[in-house]
A = this chain, B = another copy of it.
């Protein structure tokens, strides 16, 4: 690329997602039984942001590798993401995803569990067939299998902590496991397929880990400070659900007046809280500096992510990785 061209992360994602349409359809053949195959296909075929596979491809390109060889891994990572979405949607009782009825409702619960399991298995079939030296494939397998182990732990922590306000440390650990580890495996895996050595693989792994945290922390920030007409979320919702975020844990530590703290705790997690009450809770958090703290922490994680990319030579892919990190905290939805 010509240096200095600014990449629009969102447009780049849309373009990459379109390019992945074919490959994502390529690896699930018309086998029996038809209902399992159709259920397995629904989420991956439906699109979504496809940030994880884009990360695989960008990492492979950014280290100077042959991006086309990274396509099967990109698809594998997206299948894994979709496997967790299918299982999580059932556990969380969600009824809609990407504009469609979720698998456990559109089909039934056993089919949803098996469709998830099948996508999981297919991902590892794709990894086994990667056109890279066996040693690199083995490293990819390490990163990805560790990520899936961690994803299960993260989802279980999330379930265990539902409705509880845990420490900031415990919250960060949960989102690290639920969000960052698969991003990080995608980046490290792409770099490995691209032929990178350990130092660069580790740097890209750290980049994506920090980016995942920044992304999720900013998501939480949008949930409380975003424009409801754009995010599609009522600002009071996270407060009513008592959702633990770094902003809430900050508020718990930093509200100095015991009476205000009691008032705040009384609103948090109260499903019947009025708009006035949730607005009051938000204003308490604002006064405590908690909302600014959330935004700044997301910014800090993104800065940290971008700093890890110093090991890379200039390229369009590197620019995308920087743009993606910036986009994580510069969006309205």
Contact = CB atoms under 8 A, between A and B. Distances in A.
Interface of A: 31-33, 35-36, 87, 90-91, 109-111, 113-118, 120-122, 124-125, 127-129, 133-135, 137-138, 141-142, 144-146, 148-149, 151-153, 155-157, 159-160, 173
A173 B32 CA distance: 10
Contacts of A111: 156, 159
A120 B134 CA distance: 22
Interface of chain A, main secondary structure: helix
A139 to B, nearest CB: 8
Contacts of A133: 134
Contacts of A135: 134
Most buried by B among A115, A117, A155: A117
Contacts of A153: 31-33, 36, 118
A157 B32 contact: yes
Copies in the complex: 2
B113 A90 contact: yes
A149 B121 contact: yes
A152 B114 contact: yes
Given A137-B138, A142-B125, A87 B156 contact: no
A127 B134 CA distance: 13
Nearest to A130: B138
A129 B142 CA distance: 8
Most buried by B among A33, A118, A157: A33
Given A33-B156, A91-B110, A118-B149, 7 more contacts: A36-B152, A91-B109, A110-B159, A118-B152, A120-B148, A124-B124, A124-B144
Contacts of A31: 153
A141 B113 contact: no
A198 to B, nearest CB: 16
Nearest to A124: B145
Contact of A155 (B114, B127, B142): B114
Nearest to A134: B134
